[in-house]
Structure 1
């Protein structure tokens, strides 16, 4: 048996060695005889057709003036060894201006050459406009595409609400159902995660439909009076963990159902929260997870070491939507921070972005339509909830964000009747960076200390 295995291993090694030599020989031979075999040697293939495309605008910090022109400039660079031929196409993605047909342009760009192309549009009275530039190289299947978005008077941007007639009753009943569930709070210190300054606790509780949810509580050891508290809520599928920060603040990093350490009853896999139970508002995932966030407020409100006039909720992406929803549905929230928020203005969200997962879900059953889907989603649209938010609110967005387009974010934000402010990062996409994270902590501290 051992001799047979040794013989088989020698045969495999010889085949492997022969294959490598064949590929190397063929790739060298292609330089002389047959360029079509360059696929054996990807670096040579890439070198022949290496193209870079960038796009930008002359709008200062990404914002312009209503009814004035903004020029977009696309730069195409051929870093390859051969002349490239193809078609350059422009298109506009916006709910603020009607679509218009822009003729394609045939392009030839020599090796080592850079070419610039421009398009000018007139900005609307209010809203955002995304310019899309695409180059289809005749020698490749996949096109190169880049986008650049500009805006104008975003704080004036509004779109009609999509509330159903029973919207308020739906949420009153949902909250009443949550209140009927005893929270059964349990707080367990995790000594290995604590240090000399901060005690760390794992907290568990019961939420809507008796679902168990958990989070991580960080409490400064030297506190001599009740402290402000911030509830951190997760992005889509994110696992919230202790942050090791907060010598002057209590931090509760909370995981709603299906996230982080809250998967005993609701699994996080598959990662398809936004289509779970979507056939009916009663069974939709976000009904339970919004109520989970209210239960997290219940927990913080139950603690004597928390200043009950200084409770904040903060999240990014899905967490930004959670922050909006929690502040809307629970008046005990004193400060709302929503970064690059998701769950805003569903109707325009699907006009500005395309997600095959949602298309496929609707196509699975004949009774599903876009209208029925949007009707269910309307109960969880933070735009429809925003009128309930009375606490100060801070929203930050990335102007170039294609995951959560700023149009939808402002359609929620502009419906908030209370004190509010926003920050736009002109070059950021779906992520605002460490500097923003540090800045928000300072804003939060200032808001709760009473300083500017």
Structure 2
């Protein structure tokens, strides 16, 4: 009997493991919501009501008599209306209202079928290219940053460059780089990728997205003709283990809140200055073509791209995707602010001191100082970097600019948008 039980347990374990290993994650949901506004670009005029068609599909076919719950409200705000709706043919429609001021309305829908819950959302723009920022700009904004930049110049960068054959390819050499920044003994790290042809090339700075996490070498830009530098911002060697990174991340916590009540000691001060240090390094390389300096990144990296382009006159072009840290004071003005939503009700951080500090670091105030060509992109369904905040920054730019909006996108982008960005950067730098 014991042997029979043992064989049975082995059989169960083997088959459960076999089933797991043979099951690839499904690329789509079994049940899908399709939300379709009656304007194909998802944009409406002020006071114009928006209608959203709702379809619930299983195997691509509408499910009859589906009951859904829904919530309506302004972008990232508390819903102002909720309810239930039965889709008799699996298809229905909701009027999500309108706005009297430029912004976004958000519809969230949910249904439960066979014990599984399915959700979706859609955000509709009302005169989105007329959205104005709420953040004010301090009178000494330019003086503050000029003094910070001059002070940082007294700290030698002392670059340490280490060739990394394990990351290099037949066409690209990769190096681990350490640069001193902000204070003696404080560093930033990054991976430098250079084409192996020994020719002159444009340089490209690639700042990171948010978080305390390992960065990895990026050779794709070098394969397109750029000398690229992908960095981290926390002074952590990317060759540490994942366990080390997890421990450090837990110790640092919400780094964006560190010293938020002191503009001179705020965490992002060294980060912004570190971006300029990266440009110092790139433009010092003998393979630099001497004229083309571009920056590109997404989310926090998009924010840092705009900041770098505003502060460093050597930068000649910027490409930023759904930038973070835009119009952070939106929440105290009853509308969405940018990541990390520091002044939302979640954190209760909206003290006068913290609001004042953030004026010196808000991406909107840097966007107003951009005078070079720019490529930008965002999606309306982004809840991390809300479109209200992103367009507050984009609308503040008074330079040659273009934007690719894929409204269905959340906090991600399509490969087609990446391709457009690279093509734009190459054309801007006259790379064949």
Q: Deviations over 1:399-447 (max 9, x none)?
A: 2111101111111122222211111012111000333223322211111
**Paired position in structure 1 for 2:183:** 209
1:352 to 2:336 alignment: yes
**Paired position in structure 2 for 1:116:** 92
SS of 2:189's partner is: strand
The equivalent position to 1:104 in structure 2, one of 79, 83, 99, is 83
The equivalent position to 1:249 in structure 2, one of 185, 209, 226, is 226
1:62 to 2:50 alignment: no
Which 5+ residue runs of structure 2 have no aligned equivalent? 13-29
**Paired position in structure 1 for 2:138:** 164
The equivalent position to 1:376 in structure 2, one of 351, 357, 375, is 357
SS of 2:368's partner is: helix
1:431 to 2:412 alignment: yes
CA contact (8 A) 1:317 1:340 kept: yes
Q: Deviations over 1:172-203 (max 9, x none)?
A: 22212211111111222223322332221111
Q: Deviations over 1:113-150 (max 9, x none)?
A: 6352321534657x33233234587x99x986532112
Choose between structure 1 and 2: higher helix proportion: 1
Q: Deviations over 1:349-401 (max 9, x none)?
A: 673279798779956xxxx6444332222211010122221111111001211
1 CA distance for matches of 2:270 and 2:264? 9
TM-score, structure 1 as length reference: 0.75
Q: Counterparts in 2 of 1:18-29, with a 5 A limit?
A: none
Between 1 and 2, higher relative CO (CA 8 Å, sep ≥ 6) is seen in: 2
CA contact (8 A) 2:331 2:343 kept: no
Divergent runs of 4+, >6 A = 83-87, 262-266, 353-361
- Counting matched residue pairs gives 395
Q: Of the two, which has the highest radius of gyration?
A: 1
SS of 2:166's partner is: helix
CA contact (8 A) 2:41 2:407 kept: yes
SS of 1:399's partner is: coil
1 CA distance for matches of 2:197 and 2:425? 20
SS of 1:312's partner is: strand
Q: Counterparts in 2 of 1:2-13, with a 5 A limit?
A: none
SS of 1:411's partner is: helix
* CA separation of 1:262 and 1:254: change in aligned 2, threshold 3 A: farther
* CA separation of 1:298 and 1:53: change in aligned 2, threshold 3 A: same
Which 5+ residue runs of structure 1 have no aligned equivalent? 1-9, 21-49
CA RMSD in angstroms, aligned pairs only: 3.8
Q: Counterparts in 2 of 1:50-89, with a 5 A limit?
A: 53-75=33-55, 88-89=69-70
* CA separation of 1:204 and 1:406: change in aligned 2, threshold 3 A: same
1 CA distance for matches of 2:350 and 2:135? 20
**Paired position in structure 2 for 1:410:** 391
